[in-house]
Structure 1
């Protein structure tokens, strides 16, 4: 059995999660309303632009993965893609978070496209790097447990930035506004990126490729025909869709169906993600005591039951809803990190 990685190495590996997570739910929660409201972009057009960029970005993951697989430099296989992708993402973040009112649809589209292209290159390199750090079955769960736990910390921290800055703004002579919160989030993401890239570049080993020669597109097609990989990709898809829909709709649900204010609805999300700090080590422990696939099965089953209860339960006030969100968030963290650890196992096969 391979020696376990040091905690300092795991912390360095997880560091890029802090800025990369900002391109997920925090951006979806704050940016579309900001573009459609403060910046004056048409609401329907805003939705089309944000959706179109993600669809265009989708095949880039495959292209970047293929490129990473064929990379063999003195700086390693993953490190160049991680650093270059992170720097490109920084340029996109500056364009997206600091756009001026009256921006054209083309300007909005190009800024988002640049940001997501850099994000995709860095994110694919990052998760691939994690899978290559160990060949041990349980150590992979530990690696991606750190990855998921850091994602949860980043989510809670970033979602708290706009309300915190708006609350403290008057003390600094700043007028509370949506723009103030969005700009603050942009500055935080930019400030986190360079230290994160430095940490992962200097603190994480990046060895030789795991195979003798780069894979071609025919190898990718052959791999996709394997039942194990097909099953795992299907599990990942089915486990990701509810979380994606839920993240986008929960705020609207608590506002429209439960009568909470927008501020309270967003605060409830923090309880949901705070559960990840409990859930990540818990499901890692379950995976070590049973297996990764059994832990994923239990997590998905409990996720369905707890979310059904959350939706069907009558409105009993903020703190009851917060407790429900805390419980519902515990199983939500398991599939993302355990499926990625399982993917490394399937790759060995």
Structure 2
């Protein structure tokens, strides 16, 4: 069945976007709290902790394209993608709750348990995220409607990130911190995942699903097609750089609050300030894209995020209001990067479909989510390596150790200069993005639509 050009019903648009409760929670909470959980509660060395966060997601990098191919070839009465949303989403919620319930106390066994459970959780996430990201390219063939759908999704993704990321440290601390606090926090996040899974599954039951068409005979052949799509290659490389830099900052939020600002209780406030702008600035970024196009909008957002992140390296010399202002500017740039990156992805898929006549959205989104997953894993790993190099001392729950000035400098650099330089890579890579002037998908051919802000 051909996806219609007209606007999707609001209930479908909003319901689909609420699947971000799942992706936002999983993409945020492990990045925010898993590294501190390992270093400051289980006593795992910072470098090893970063590696334990990296390896399970590195597995996803290889798995995601395979999941995309599997979902491309799935035929059920629920469509190709929706069955994976239901079963993988519910499975991921259970596994996430178990991730923070290590039965071995602290030490090496607990670290190994966390690594295995994180691997299983990341596997379930692949089977949810890849089909979920593939759906917009099949729900509508309208260039403008895809951007409208992504505007809702990014706004609700920001809401999910804000709720899960802000509440997770509060619940952990309110329940006494340490292992008990992390366990209650995990149950809260798992509940959010269950809610998002059920909502997106039910609300998309009437959405167009696209038709099963010819595809390449093997995954290797499909990956060659993906590699031949230059706009997609450029876009995914930019998004990997962006995800790595943002994840590096995310992994350092609690360390920055504790060792640079001198108050671990500001973790939630910092997180809220960097995420909350996305709830309000989407109409502004839409107007930027309307005037300049998505590509130039992406460049503006990347410049904003890069400059603000590098500027935050002066934090020890600045008053707190200035620090929070810079972090809010970082959130403004991050929101724009998310909107333009995610709305350009379906355009690249449509470009390939028009070029080849084959339905392979799952493989493209599999590679996309593999890249994003790699970035989200590399970020905490890089931050952990920086901590290790600067002599950060890991501790177990209830133990307090004074960190050296060198270690505190490592926290500052890992939270500002390092991710700022990584995010800035996108500015260089974006110069190669070009959809070839195709009026059906080219950035300059169709302005961004008028979109009401999400409520």
Aligned-partner Cα distance in 2 for 1:182–1:333: 28
Deviation track 1:294-337 (CA, whole Å, cap 9, x = no partner) reads 21111112222222323246633222211221122101122233
Deviation track 1:255-282 (CA, whole Å, cap 9, x = no partner) reads 44x4332222442121001111123332
Distance 1:47 1:223, change over 3 A: closer
What does residue range 55-70 of structure 1 map to in structure 2 within 5 Å? 55-70=58-73
1:328 corresponds to 2:330 = yes
**More divergent stretch after superposition (73-82 vs 279-288):** 279-288
Alignment check: 8 A CA contact 2:73 2:212 kept: no
What does residue range 218-229 of structure 1 map to in structure 2 within 5 Å? 218-229=221-232
Q: What is the SS of the residue equivalent to 2:215?
A: coil
Report what 1:319 is aligned to: 321
Alignment check: 8 A CA contact 1:268 1:321 kept: no
Report what 2:261 is aligned to: 259
Distance 1:57 1:152, change over 3 A: same
Q: TM-score, normalised by structure 2?
A: 0.69
Aligned-partner Cα distance in 1 for 2:117–2:240: 28
Report what 2:282 is aligned to: 280
Deviation track 1:149-172 (CA, whole Å, cap 9, x = no partner) reads 1221122212222443367x4xxx
Aligned-partner Cα distance in 1 for 2:39–2:318: 33
Alignment check: 8 A CA contact 2:151 2:339 kept: yes
Deviation at 1:112, TM superposition (A): 0.9
Distance 1:208 1:140, change over 3 A: closer
Deviation track 1:48-67 (CA, whole Å, cap 9, x = no partner) reads 22221111221111111111
Report what 1:129 is aligned to: 135
Alignment check: 8 A CA contact 1:93 1:115 kept: yes
State the number of aligned residues: 342
1:236 corresponds to 2:268 = no
Report what 1:154 is aligned to: 160
Q: TM-score, normalised by structure 1?
A: 0.88
1:22 corresponds to 2:18 = no
Alignment check: 8 A CA contact 1:78 1:129 kept: yes
* One of 247, 250, 260 as aligned partner of 2:250: 247
Alignment check: 8 A CA contact 1:91 1:114 kept: no
Q: RMSD across aligned C-alpha pairs, in angstroms? A: 2.5
Structure 1 segments unaligned to the other structure (5+ residues): none
Q: Which one scores higher on RCO, CA 8 angstroms, separation ≥ 6? A: 2
Alignment check: 8 A CA contact 2:143 2:347 kept: yes
Deviation at 1:253, TM superposition (A): 4.2
Deviation at 1:196, TM superposition (A): 2.0
Q: What is the SS of the residue equivalent to 2:187?
A: helix
Deviation at 1:22, TM superposition (A): 2.1
Aligned-partner Cα distance in 2 for 1:214–1:87: 30
Report what 1:120 is aligned to: 126
**More divergent stretch after superposition (27-36 vs 118-127):** 27-36
Aligned-partner Cα distance in 2 for 1:234–1:146: 24
Deviation at 1:223, TM superposition (A): 2.9
Deviation track 1:104-142 (CA, whole Å, cap 9, x = no partner) reads 444322211111111111111111113322222222122
Aligned-partner Cα distance in 2 for 1:220–1:251: 39
Distance 1:73 1:163, change over 3 A: closer
* One of 87, 90, 95 as aligned partner of 1:87: 90
